[in-house]
Structure 1
Amino acid sequence: MKRNILIIYAGGTIGMQASEKGYVPVAGFEQRLRAQLRRTTGASELPAFEVLELEQLIDSANLQPHHWTELGGIITAHWQQYDGFLLLHGTDTMAYTASMLSFMLQGMDKPVIVTGSQIPLAQLRNDALDNLLSSLMFAAGDAIPEVCICFNGRLLRGNRASKLKSSALDAFDSPNFGWLGQAGIDIELHTELLLQSGTADFKIPDFNPDAVVILPVYPGISARIARDLLSNPAVKGVVLHTYGAGNPPDANGELMAELDNAVRRGVTIVNITQCLQGQVSQGAYATGATLNRIGVIPGRDLTLEAAFTKLHFLLATQPADRVKGLMIQSLCGEMAQ
């Protein structure tokens, strides 16, 4: 029996068209896609698919946490009707959405593939069609029980991926984890890297957009920056973006005091590195050891996107006393064990 895929068109460059103001999202993607496929040799070999288009398309630079609730709700509402899912999404925040979906859809037993493009499908020369066709083929497989990004022939674990290039066609990679597969002359899967199918434990919460903030360190950072970020009582989590192996400017006593005070108030602070490869070894240097004394959680090799979304997800679904323990556990392959 031919497998049936739900394509969710959420917006993004893949479905945009040129306007006087630049590329803009436009409705009617399914008609344009099917017209394109009628002109494509071998399209009959593709899995059957249906297209669900959001009423309000998202320019990914305008993504908000409530969009994750909407997208997760759509997928779970249709979970039993389809063999796999393909989410078309803008590239700027694609890794955030893929990461969040991986946390919301834990225990999944079928593929959720996220893709988009750097050049719209409407353009004569584009990467949209290849990304979409490769993603459809991966979504039709029964051996990928996780959320992935498929882009430029690479199949990446969604919560390990980041957009590394602003305009190149190979925009996405997973610097700290191997590719799960690739679409070249043949479709290849590295099954030894894939998660195992599980029992669905889906949680689609509502999010407080103020609950998590990102605090990057830089030479000369003032304690006032942290104080202003943390002054909002709605803030319950901080992703601290530090140097190297997780080193903050610990000579800045006022800044360290702000972090200490926040932890004492019950704010969860997770430390990740600004480096693309490697991980936080909090305490390898004396500066990092300061964070251990304060009670900051080492985020190991979490990407910024995964750290931000995981903290958001846990704060929205777990009692406060469980968040710290779960942040240091790999829930769905997002960090080294």
Structure 2
Amino acid sequence: MKKRICIIHTGGTIGMIKTAHGYAPKKGFMKQALSAIQELNSEEMPSYDYIEYDPLLDSSDVSVKEWVKIAKDIEERYHMYDGFVILHGTDTMAYTASALSFMLDGLSKPVILTGSQIPLSEIRNDGRDNIITALLIAANYNIPEVCLYFGSKLMRGNRATKISSDHLIAFDSPNYPFLAEVGVNIEVKNKLIRPTKGDFKVRIFDKRQIAVLKIFPGIQWEVFESLMTSHLKGFVIEALGAGNLPKADHILQGLLKRAKENDTIIVVCTQCLKGSAVIGQYEASSTLSQAGAVSGYDMTVEAAVTKLDYLLSLYDDVETVKRLMETNLRGELTK
């Protein structure tokens, strides 16, 4: 019996057509484009059903509301399909993949996000192979994770990050090996795949005020004074190196003190593509340690932001959120 896959089309470059104002999504185009890919009718391919969102969104417009919709659509159809393929724009694909990895608790089947850098409407495009291979992997391999497939690499969703806006190799997984590499054969690295834990359940996100700050030489801390209010629940800092900041002045100390008083959770990640942020390792991060900040270790910023939103949606206790931010929940970090 053929495996069944559900394709969810949210929007993005893969389903766009050229207009007088540049590439834009067109309702119904993707369904037509899929029916024109003859390989999808092969006996080797799974059968699929197709869902198209209305409106189709550029991924820069995808956020918590859309993450919840995707998760609920998967929940509603979870027992009807052997896997799910989500067609998505590349700009925020890693954020959506990270968010879904936390929302889809106890996942026991593949959920694979993919898309393209060149639309299917163009003669030369990368979308066709990405769709075919994502469907084959979702149907034929036991990978109970939210993944991102792009450019012949299958990555854990919460380890992926976009590295290029104009190359066909658009994503990388800098701190965790690829789950599968596709060449002449599809080589799945089973030892790297997380086993299913518990029963499937969708955990819904709420909208929380979270900010991201990238540190740079000569940063003027007073610019951020208006940001540090009691409404700010989470603060992800992209620090230098292993979690370092420029020498603290009285303004920074005041900001960190206010964050602590407001129970704003500070998570420190590194700007480096590879490696970890561990506060307290150098004197330059001691100010953060004293303020009660937590280490993001080798999490991507995408994973840190979505994980923080996830935990703040589940727990009111600040210490619980801090502890779990430093705990590996879905394979998102290595301590």
Task: Settle same-fold status: TM greater than 0.5.
Answer: yes
1:224 maps to 2:222: yes
Secondary structure of the residue aligned to 1:282 is coil
Q: Which residue of 1 aligns with 2:4?
A: 4
Q: Which residue of 2 aligns with 1:330?
A: 328
In the comparison of the two structures, how many residue pairs are matched?
334
Task: Supply the AA of the counterpart residue of 1:25.
Answer: P
Residue deviations 1:296-331 (CA, integer Å, cap 9, x gap) = 001100101000000011111222332111101011
Secondary structure of the residue aligned to 2:65 is helix
Structure 2: state its 5+ residue gaps: none
Offset at residue 42 of structure 1 (A): 7.1
Structure 1: state its 5+ residue gaps: none
Moved over 4 A (4+): none
Q: Which moved more, 1:183-192 or 1:195-204?
A: 195-204
**C-alpha root-mean-square deviation of aligned residues, in Å?**
1.5
1:168 maps to 2:167: yes
Q: Which residue of 2 aligns with 1:106?
A: 105
For 1:143-182, what aligned pairs fall within 5 Å after superposition? 143-182=142-181
Task: Supply the AA of the counterpart residue of 1:54.
Answer: Y
Q: Which moved more, 1:212-221 or 1:170-179?
A: 212-221
Q: Which residue of 2 aligns with 1:17?
A: 17
Secondary structure of the residue aligned to 2:19 is coil
TM-score of the superposed pair, with normalisation by structure 1? 0.95
1:296 maps to 2:293: yes
Task: Supply the AA of the counterpart residue of 1:23.
Answer: Y
Secondary structure of the residue aligned to 2:191 is helix
CA contact (8 A) 1:215 1:226 kept: no
Q: Which residue of 1 aligns with 2:28?
A: 28
Q: Which residue of 1 aligns with 2:238?
A: 241
Partner Cα separation in structure 1 for residue 219 and residue 202 of structure 2: 37
CA contact (8 A) 1:211 1:235 kept: yes
Residue deviations 1:106-125 (CA, integer Å, cap 9, x gap) = 21100000000000111100
Secondary structure of the residue aligned to 1:249 is coil
CA contact (8 A) 1:108 1:145 kept: yes
Q: Which moved more, 1:76-85 or 1:320-329?
A: 320-329
Partner Cα separation in structure 2 for residue 20 and residue 157 of structure 1: 37
CA contact (8 A) 2:75 2:202 kept: no
Evaluate the alpha carbon distance shift between residue 141 and residue 225 of structure 1 in structure 2; reply closer, same or farther with a 3 A threshold: farther
Calculate percent identity across the aligned residue pairs.
41
TM-score of the superposed pair, with normalisation by structure 2? 0.96
CA contact (8 A) 2:213 2:236 kept: yes
CA contact (8 A) 2:107 2:196 kept: yes
Offset at residue 289 of structure 1 (A): 1.8
Residue deviations 1:100-152 (CA, integer Å, cap 9, x gap) = 00000121100000000000111100000000111001111341000000001
Offset at residue 264 of structure 1 (A): 2.2
Q: Given the alignment, which residue of 292, 305, 326 partners 1:308?
A: 305
Q: Which residue of 2 aligns with 1:271?
A: 268
Offset at residue 62 of structure 1 (A): 1.5
Secondary structure of the residue aligned to 1:336 is coil
Secondary structure of the residue aligned to 2:213 is strand
CA contact (8 A) 1:109 1:199 kept: no
Offset at residue 201 of structure 1 (A): 4.7
Task: Supply the AA of the counterpart residue of 2:35.
Answer: A
Partner Cα separation in structure 2 for residue 43 and residue 253 of structure 1: 67
Q: Which moved more, 1:222-231 or 1:321-330?
A: 222-231
